[in-house]
Amino acid sequence: MSTDAEARSLTVSVDHRVGDVAISVSFTAKPGITVLFGPSGSGKSTLLAAVSGLLAPDSGTVRLADTTWLDTKRGVSMPVHRRRVAFVFQSPALFPHMTALENVMYGMSKNVPHDTNVERAKKLLATWDVAALAARMPSRFSGGEAQRVALARAFATSPDVVLMDEPFSALDDVRRRALAKRVKEVVEELRVPAIFVTHSVREAETVGDHVLLLENGKITREGTPSEILTNLVAE
Protein backbone atom coordinates (compact mmCIF):
# COMPACT_ATOMS: atom_id res chain seq x y z
CA MET A 1 0.00 0.00 0.00
CA SER A 2 1.39 3.40 -0.94
CA THR A 3 2.17 6.22 1.45
CA ASP A 4 -0.66 8.16 -0.18
CA ALA A 5 -3.09 5.40 0.79
CA GLU A 6 -1.81 5.38 4.37
CA ALA A 7 -2.27 9.14 4.52
CA ARG A 8 -5.94 8.82 3.50
CA SER A 9 -6.82 5.99 5.89
CA LEU A 10 -9.71 6.03 8.31
CA THR A 11 -8.85 4.70 11.77
CA VAL A 12 -11.73 3.65 13.98
CA SER A 13 -11.72 2.48 17.58
CA VAL A 14 -15.16 2.51 19.14
CA ASP A 15 -16.91 1.07 22.20
CA HIS A 16 -20.66 1.36 22.40
CA ARG A 17 -23.48 -0.62 23.97
CA VAL A 18 -26.83 -1.01 22.19
CA GLY A 19 -29.29 -3.17 24.10
CA ASP A 20 -27.63 -6.56 24.63
CA VAL A 21 -24.86 -5.98 22.11
CA ALA A 22 -21.61 -4.44 23.34
CA ILE A 23 -19.74 -3.13 20.31
CA SER A 24 -15.99 -2.99 20.74
CA VAL A 25 -14.02 -2.64 17.52
CA SER A 26 -10.76 -1.26 16.19
CA PHE A 27 -9.84 -1.23 12.53
CA THR A 28 -8.25 0.82 9.78
CA ALA A 29 -10.00 1.34 6.46
CA LYS A 30 -7.59 2.18 3.64
CA PRO A 31 -8.69 3.73 0.32
CA GLY A 32 -10.91 1.19 -1.40
CA ILE A 33 -13.92 -0.69 -0.11
CA THR A 34 -13.85 -2.31 3.31
CA VAL A 35 -16.82 -4.61 3.69
CA LEU A 36 -18.34 -4.85 7.14
CA PHE A 37 -19.88 -8.28 6.98
CA GLY A 38 -22.01 -9.93 9.60
CA PRO A 39 -25.44 -11.12 10.65
CA SER A 40 -28.32 -8.78 11.53
CA GLY A 41 -27.99 -7.27 15.00
CA SER A 42 -24.19 -7.57 15.09
CA GLY A 43 -23.78 -3.79 15.31
CA LYS A 44 -22.85 -2.94 11.69
CA SER A 45 -25.27 -0.03 11.23
CA THR A 46 -24.52 1.36 14.69
CA LEU A 47 -20.82 1.35 13.89
CA LEU A 48 -21.43 3.19 10.63
CA ALA A 49 -23.57 5.80 12.43
CA ALA A 50 -20.77 6.29 14.98
CA VAL A 51 -18.18 6.83 12.22
CA SER A 52 -20.40 9.36 10.44
CA GLY A 53 -21.16 11.27 13.65
CA LEU A 54 -24.90 10.55 13.52
CA LEU A 55 -24.46 8.63 16.78
CA ALA A 56 -22.23 9.55 19.70
CA PRO A 57 -20.53 6.33 20.88
CA ASP A 58 -19.87 5.68 24.59
CA SER A 59 -16.13 6.02 23.97
CA GLY A 60 -13.56 5.85 21.22
CA THR A 61 -11.68 7.62 18.48
CA VAL A 62 -12.25 8.16 14.78
CA ARG A 63 -9.47 9.65 12.68
CA LEU A 64 -9.16 10.38 9.01
CA ALA A 65 -5.43 10.67 8.26
CA ASP A 66 -4.22 13.41 10.65
CA THR A 67 -7.68 14.84 11.34
CA THR A 68 -9.46 13.75 14.50
CA TRP A 69 -13.19 13.39 13.99
CA LEU A 70 -13.87 11.92 17.40
CA ASP A 71 -11.87 11.50 20.58
CA THR A 72 -14.13 11.02 23.56
CA LYS A 73 -11.24 11.27 26.06
CA ARG A 74 -10.29 14.72 24.75
CA GLY A 75 -13.92 15.76 24.29
CA VAL A 76 -13.46 16.16 20.53
CA SER A 77 -16.45 15.45 18.29
CA MET A 78 -16.58 17.02 14.85
CA PRO A 79 -20.20 17.67 13.82
CA VAL A 80 -21.64 15.37 11.14
CA HIS A 81 -21.87 18.13 8.53
CA ARG A 82 -18.15 18.89 8.73
CA ARG A 83 -16.94 15.29 8.34
CA ARG A 84 -17.43 15.18 4.55
CA VAL A 85 -18.89 11.70 4.47
CA ALA A 86 -21.07 10.31 1.72
CA PHE A 87 -23.68 8.19 3.49
CA VAL A 88 -25.90 5.90 1.43
CA PHE A 89 -28.69 4.51 3.60
CA GLN A 90 -30.65 1.31 3.23
CA SER A 91 -33.60 3.36 1.97
CA PRO A 92 -32.84 6.14 -0.54
CA ALA A 93 -34.04 8.93 1.82
CA LEU A 94 -34.53 11.32 -1.08
CA PHE A 95 -35.98 14.71 -0.19
CA PRO A 96 -39.59 14.39 -1.41
CA HIS A 97 -40.12 18.11 -2.08
CA MET A 98 -37.13 18.37 -4.44
CA THR A 99 -36.52 17.07 -7.96
CA ALA A 100 -33.76 14.52 -8.56
CA LEU A 101 -31.48 17.34 -9.74
CA GLU A 102 -32.18 19.44 -6.63
CA ASN A 103 -31.53 16.38 -4.44
CA VAL A 104 -28.13 15.88 -6.06
CA MET A 105 -27.27 19.59 -5.76
CA TYR A 106 -28.22 19.78 -2.06
CA GLY A 107 -24.76 18.87 -0.77
CA MET A 108 -22.75 20.76 -3.38
CA SER A 109 -20.59 23.70 -2.43
CA LYS A 110 -22.35 27.06 -2.38
CA ASN A 111 -19.06 28.74 -3.36
CA VAL A 112 -19.24 27.23 -6.83
CA PRO A 113 -21.35 29.03 -9.49
CA HIS A 114 -24.90 27.63 -9.69
CA ASP A 115 -24.60 26.71 -13.38
CA THR A 116 -21.41 24.74 -12.71
CA ASN A 117 -23.21 22.79 -9.97
CA VAL A 118 -26.17 22.13 -12.29
CA GLU A 119 -23.86 20.74 -14.98
CA ARG A 120 -22.03 18.57 -12.47
CA ALA A 121 -25.29 17.27 -10.99
CA LYS A 122 -26.54 16.35 -14.47
CA LYS A 123 -23.29 14.48 -15.17
CA LEU A 124 -23.60 12.60 -11.88
CA LEU A 125 -27.17 11.59 -12.69
CA ALA A 126 -25.92 10.38 -16.09
CA THR A 127 -23.12 8.41 -14.38
CA TRP A 128 -25.77 6.52 -12.43
CA ASP A 129 -28.01 6.10 -15.54
CA VAL A 130 -30.81 8.34 -14.26
CA ALA A 131 -30.23 11.51 -16.30
CA ALA A 132 -33.83 11.34 -17.58
CA LEU A 133 -35.14 11.77 -14.03
CA ALA A 134 -33.46 15.14 -13.41
CA ALA A 135 -36.66 17.21 -13.39
CA ARG A 136 -38.89 14.59 -11.75
CA MET A 137 -40.01 14.26 -8.13
CA PRO A 138 -38.89 11.19 -6.10
CA SER A 139 -42.44 9.96 -5.44
CA ARG A 140 -42.54 8.71 -9.06
CA PHE A 141 -39.25 6.76 -8.94
CA SER A 142 -38.94 2.98 -8.77
CA GLY A 143 -36.79 1.54 -5.95
CA GLY A 144 -33.78 1.12 -8.24
CA GLU A 145 -34.12 4.62 -9.71
CA ALA A 146 -34.41 6.19 -6.26
CA GLN A 147 -31.28 4.39 -5.01
CA ARG A 148 -29.32 5.51 -8.09
CA VAL A 149 -30.33 9.14 -7.44
CA ALA A 150 -29.33 8.66 -3.78
CA LEU A 151 -25.90 7.41 -4.90
CA ALA A 152 -25.48 10.39 -7.25
CA ARG A 153 -26.43 12.71 -4.37
CA ALA A 154 -24.02 11.09 -1.91
CA PHE A 155 -21.06 11.26 -4.29
CA ALA A 156 -21.85 14.87 -5.27
CA THR A 157 -20.25 16.14 -2.07
CA SER A 158 -16.74 15.04 -3.17
CA PRO A 159 -16.50 13.02 0.06
CA ASP A 160 -13.41 12.09 2.06
CA VAL A 161 -15.09 8.90 3.28
CA VAL A 162 -17.95 6.83 1.82
CA LEU A 163 -20.31 4.92 4.12
CA MET A 164 -22.94 2.55 2.71
CA ASP A 165 -25.44 0.74 4.89
CA GLU A 166 -26.85 -2.20 2.88
CA PRO A 167 -27.67 0.23 0.07
CA PHE A 168 -29.00 -2.38 -2.36
CA SER A 169 -30.97 -4.63 -0.03
CA ALA A 170 -34.29 -3.64 -1.60
CA LEU A 171 -33.15 -4.43 -5.17
CA ASP A 172 -33.19 -7.63 -7.21
CA ASP A 173 -29.95 -9.58 -7.80
CA VAL A 174 -29.25 -8.26 -11.31
CA ARG A 175 -29.61 -4.58 -10.36
CA ARG A 176 -27.73 -5.24 -7.16
CA ARG A 177 -24.69 -6.63 -8.92
CA ALA A 178 -24.68 -3.89 -11.55
CA LEU A 179 -24.83 -1.13 -8.93
CA ALA A 180 -22.22 -2.82 -6.73
CA LYS A 181 -19.78 -2.89 -9.67
CA ARG A 182 -20.47 0.79 -10.40
CA VAL A 183 -19.90 1.71 -6.75
CA LYS A 184 -16.57 -0.10 -6.81
CA GLU A 185 -15.48 1.83 -9.90
CA VAL A 186 -16.49 5.20 -8.44
CA VAL A 187 -14.74 4.55 -5.11
CA GLU A 188 -11.57 3.46 -6.95
CA GLU A 189 -11.70 6.71 -8.92
CA LEU A 190 -12.13 8.78 -5.77
CA ARG A 191 -9.36 6.90 -3.90
CA VAL A 192 -11.05 7.33 -0.53
CA PRO A 193 -11.84 4.83 2.23
CA ALA A 194 -15.32 3.35 1.91
CA ILE A 195 -17.14 1.10 4.37
CA PHE A 196 -19.81 -1.10 2.85
CA VAL A 197 -22.19 -2.89 5.20
CA THR A 198 -23.80 -6.06 3.90
CA HIS A 199 -24.80 -9.55 4.90
CA SER A 200 -24.75 -10.84 1.33
CA VAL A 201 -21.69 -12.97 0.53
CA ARG A 202 -22.04 -12.34 -3.21
CA GLU A 203 -22.25 -8.57 -2.73
CA ALA A 204 -19.27 -8.61 -0.39
CA GLU A 205 -17.25 -10.53 -3.00
CA THR A 206 -18.23 -8.10 -5.76
CA VAL A 207 -17.37 -4.85 -3.98
CA GLY A 208 -14.87 -5.72 -1.26
CA ASP A 209 -11.14 -5.06 -1.24
CA HIS A 210 -10.98 -6.01 2.41
CA VAL A 211 -13.51 -7.75 4.65
CA LEU A 212 -14.15 -7.36 8.37
CA LEU A 213 -16.34 -10.05 9.91
CA LEU A 214 -18.43 -8.53 12.70
CA GLU A 215 -20.12 -10.88 15.15
CA ASN A 216 -21.84 -9.77 18.36
CA GLY A 217 -20.17 -6.38 18.22
CA LYS A 218 -16.62 -7.74 17.77
CA ILE A 219 -14.43 -8.14 14.69
CA THR A 220 -13.72 -11.84 14.73
CA ARG A 221 -11.81 -12.11 11.43
CA GLU A 222 -10.43 -9.86 8.74
CA GLY A 223 -8.73 -10.32 5.39
CA THR A 224 -9.32 -10.37 1.67
CA PRO A 225 -12.79 -11.38 0.42
CA SER A 226 -11.49 -14.77 -0.69
CA GLU A 227 -9.82 -15.44 2.68
CA ILE A 228 -12.87 -14.56 4.76
CA LEU A 229 -15.85 -15.32 2.57
CA THR A 230 -14.67 -18.63 1.06
CA ASN A 231 -14.09 -20.05 4.54
CA LEU A 232 -17.44 -18.70 5.64
CA VAL A 233 -19.29 -20.42 2.79
CA ALA A 234 -17.34 -23.63 3.43
CA GLU A 235 -18.37 -23.52 7.10
Partner 1 sequence: MSNLSASPFLSPLALSIEIAVMATLIAGVVGVAVASLLANVRFFGRDALDALFCGPLVLPPTVLGYYLLVAFGRHSFIGGVYEHVTGNSIVFTRTGAVLAAAVGALPLIVKFSRAALESVDPLLVPAARTLGASPLRALLTIQIPVAARGIAAAVMLGFARSLGDFGATLMVAGDMPGETQTASLAIFDAIQANEEGKAVVMIVLLTTIAFASLYLANKLIARGHER
**Which residues here bind partner 1, judged by CB under 8 A?**
52-54, 79-87, 89, 91, 93, 95-97, 106-107, 139, 153-154, 157, 163
Nearer to partner 1, 61 or 103 (CB): 103
Phi-psi region of 30 (alpha: psi -120 to 50; beta: other; left: phi over 0): beta
What residues contact 39, with CB distance under 8 A and at least 6 apart? 199, 215
Nearer to partner 1, 197 or 211 (CB): 197
Nearest distance in Å: CB 156, partner 1: 8
Helices 173-190 and 143-155: crossing angle in degrees, nearest 10, is: 10
Nearer to partner 1, 13 or 91 (CB): 91
Give the helix ranges, DSSP H, for 156-224: 173-190, 201-207
Nearest distance in Å: CB 91, partner 1: 6
Nearest distance in Å: CB 51, partner 1: 11
Radius of gyration over alpha carbons of the chain, in Å? 18
Nearest distance in Å: CB 223, partner 1: 29
Nearest distance in Å: CB 136, partner 1: 16
Nearer to partner 1, 99 or 216 (CB): 99
Nearer to partner 1, 42 or 52 (CB): 52
Closest to 98 measured CA to CA, from 90, 110, 106, 88: 106
Q: Which value, to the nearest 10 degrees, does the dihedral of the CA atoms of residues 60, 198, 158, 224 take? A: 80
